[in-house]
């Protein structure tokens, strides 16, 4: 469908000039961001224009809405209690439901809160939509964010970034893109102290084109919440859980926080689906605990193998954690896990020290291009998780490759000893291939006959790797 209008902003039809004025200012800000994203002029209409602009007063709203790509609903007390506003929303819904254009209906409507309007007081259809909160709240007053104030950028940074998030999400609808990618990330809700970090991670994922779930507000009822989270996990390739210094709201009828509840379900789903989904648990390294109970909860989590099912526990700064997320997703794209219905094939476990990462990545790239699936350790995960993951990789891979600059080093010898001990890690079968790739040529070292050796790559990766690739493939 060709749309004449990019966005329609539905706001209060009552005589409330402060909200009408805020919506007009917000329209200009949103237009400015979208113009930059789309690299063209964006056409945005508002409720006020339909009522007062002579170009629109004679046109039926349904005709305008049928030519509009996305809708923004600005909610406050007056909107929720206005018959005209609720009727306008009902007309929007009727148009969307007649012309789905390959999209879920609720993906074309974006809910903005400019007051602390409780969920139960919101129009029924939009109650479960994720809200974009654009209001400030202190002990005595609640007010829409004043973007026009002459204030420092950082004072409104959170809201400006939220505006950018909204603009990017809307842009996908304007571009008529119902599915951005086949990669979906379940980004679990978290405690209040980590909401901003969660938004940073979500923002980056969406800007890279990944689908992010949950894409609706979480139900309050425990059984509905469990059902919805499991549905989200079923659509996802990766689950990311964030634990902070605040325990957060307890799930109704349980003694579990929402973050803990989601993690337990993620572990359960991972176990029952036999590892269909990859999981990352992030605990920021600089936490200052406001609650002693939360510190104890996190220490228990680190030792709870059931709740760590299929997960890597990461304690690293957020920028490094974002890099880890991208690496996991990219590795899944190149090498879908065995048993995921996408592909089956050799899984080769590549071991290397962080200082040799550049060489190892070139080796892994050549292996991947040949159709060999790669497992590796992430140097940023917590030590206990790294040991657990190392043993799991040893037990499940088909072949191993050790990348080293010195085959006599303590690190290299320890990895060769782990290969010998792999049956103790739960390995059920012999390795199809064992290989050692040295960065520099070692003239005097007597390599084990048990290993296929690439002695000295010296930057000539493709030629020297061909025999190893053939060995692994055969």
pLDDT value for 397: 87
CB 302 within 8 A of CB 313: yes
Is pLDDT of 473 > 80? no
The C-alpha atoms of residue 175 and residue 239 are separated, in whole angstroms, by: 27
The C-alpha atoms of residue 44 and residue 60 are separated, in whole angstroms, by: 17
Sole residue written with tokens 């890597």:
312
Is pLDDT of 150 > 80? no
Q: Which of 152, 153, 246 is nearest to 198 (CA)?
A: 246
pLDDT value for 342: 33
pLDDT value for 343: 35
Q: Which of 259, 255, 145, 271 is nearest to 191 (CA)?
A: 259
CATH of domain 179-334: 3.40.50.10140
- What are the tens digits of pLDDT across the range 52-110? 877 777 888 899 998 998 999 999 888 888 888 989 999 998 888 766 544 455 578 99
The C-alpha atoms of residue 417 and residue 296 are separated, in whole angstroms, by: 36
- The residues, any chain, with a CB within 8 Å of residue 211's CB and separated by 6 or more, are 179, 180, 181, 183, 184, 185, 235
pLDDT value for 338: 35
The structure tokens listed for 145 are: 């964010």
CATH topology classification for 342-473:
Rossmann fold (3.40.50)
Q: 266 pLDDT band (50/70/90 cuts)?
A: very high
Can you spell out the DSSP letters for 324-347? HHHHHHHHHHHSPPTTSSS----E
Q: Residue 36: is the preceding peptide bond cis (ω within 30°)?
A: no
pLDDT value for 230: 94
pLDDT value for 248: 83
Is pLDDT of 176 > 70? no
Is pLDDT of 337 > 70? no
Which residues make up the CATH 3.40.50.10140 domain(s) of the chain? 1-150, 179-334
- What are the tens digits of pLDDT across the range 277-307? 889 999 998 888 877 888 898 988 888 888 8
Which residues make up the CATH 3.40.50.2300 domain(s) of the chain? 342-473
Least confident of 34-43, 150-159, 283-292, 319-328: 150-159
SS3 content of the chain, % helix, strand, coil (to 5): 45, 15, 35
Max avg pLDDT among 158-172, 258-272, 415-429, 460-474: 258-272
Is pLDDT of 354 > 50? yes
User: Which of residues 172 and 178 earns the better pLDDT score?
Assistant: 172
CATH topology classification for 1-150:
Rossmann fold (3.40.50)
Is pLDDT of 458 > 60? yes
Sole residue written with tokens 């059920």:
428
Q: 175 pLDDT band (50/70/90 cuts)?
A: low
pLDDT value for 72: 94
Least confident of 15-24, 30-39, 167-176, 247-256: 167-176
The C-alpha atoms of residue 377 and residue 350 are separated, in whole angstroms, by: 8
């Amino acid at each position: 469908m060709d749309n004449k209008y990019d966005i329609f902003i539905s706001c209060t039809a009552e005589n409330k000039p402060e909200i009408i004025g805020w919506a007009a200012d917000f329209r200009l800000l949103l237009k400015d961001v979208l113009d930059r994203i789309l690299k063209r002029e964006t056409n945005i209409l508002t409720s006020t224009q339909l009522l007062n602009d002579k170009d629109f007063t004679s046109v039926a709203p349904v005709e305008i809405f049928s030519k509009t790509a996305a809708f923004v609903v600005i909610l406050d007390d007056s909107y929720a209690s206005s018959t005209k506003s609720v009727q306008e929303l009902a007309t929007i819904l009727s148009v969307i439901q007649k012309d789905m254009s390959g999209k879920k209906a609720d993906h074309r409507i974006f809910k903005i809160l400019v007051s602390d309007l409780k969920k139960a007081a919101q129009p029924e259809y939009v109650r479960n939509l994720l809200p974009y909160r654009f209001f400030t709240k202190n002990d005595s007053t609640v007010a829409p964010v004043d973007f026009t104030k002459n204030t420092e950028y950082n004072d409104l940074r959170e809201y400006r970034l939220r505006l950018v998030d909204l603009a990017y999400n809307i842009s996908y609808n304007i571009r008529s893109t119902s599915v951005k990618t086949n990669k979906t990330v379940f980004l679990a809700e978290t405690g209040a102290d980590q909401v901003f970090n969660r938004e940073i991670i979500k923002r980056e994922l969406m800007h890279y084109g990944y689908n992010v779930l949950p894409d609706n507000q979480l139900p309050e009822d425990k059984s509905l919440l469990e059902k919805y989270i499991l549905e989200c996990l079923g659509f996802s390739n990766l689950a990311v859980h964030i634990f902070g210094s605040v325990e957060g709201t307890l799930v109704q009828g349980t003694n579990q926080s929402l973050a803990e509840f989601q993690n337990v379900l993620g572990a359960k789903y991972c176990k029952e689906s036999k590892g269909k989904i990859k999981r990352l648990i992030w605990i920021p390294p600089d936490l200052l605990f406001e609650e002693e109970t939360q510190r104890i909860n996190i220490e228990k989590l680190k030792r709870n193998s059931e709740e760590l099912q299929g997960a890597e526990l990461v304690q690293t700064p957020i920028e490094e954690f974002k890099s880890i997320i991208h690496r996991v997703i990219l590795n899944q794209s190149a090498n879908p896990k065995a048993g995921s219905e996408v592909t089956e094939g050799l899984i080769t476990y590549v071991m290397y020290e962080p200082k040799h990462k550049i060489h190892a990545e070139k080796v892994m790239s050549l292996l991947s291009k040949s159709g060999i699936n790669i497992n590796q350790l992430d140097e940023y995960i917590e030590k206990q998780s790294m040991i657990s993951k190392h043993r799991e990789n040893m037990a499940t891979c088909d072949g191993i490759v050790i990348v080293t600059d010195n085959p006599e080093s303590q690190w290299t010898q320890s990895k060769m000893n782990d290969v010998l001990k792999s049956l103790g890690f739960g390995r059920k079968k012999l390795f199809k291939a064992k290989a050692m790739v040295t960065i520099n040529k070692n003239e005097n070292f007597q390599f084990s006959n048990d290993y296929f050796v690439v002695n000295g790559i010296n930057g000539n990766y493709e030629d020297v790797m061909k025999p190893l690739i053939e060995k692994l493939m055969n």
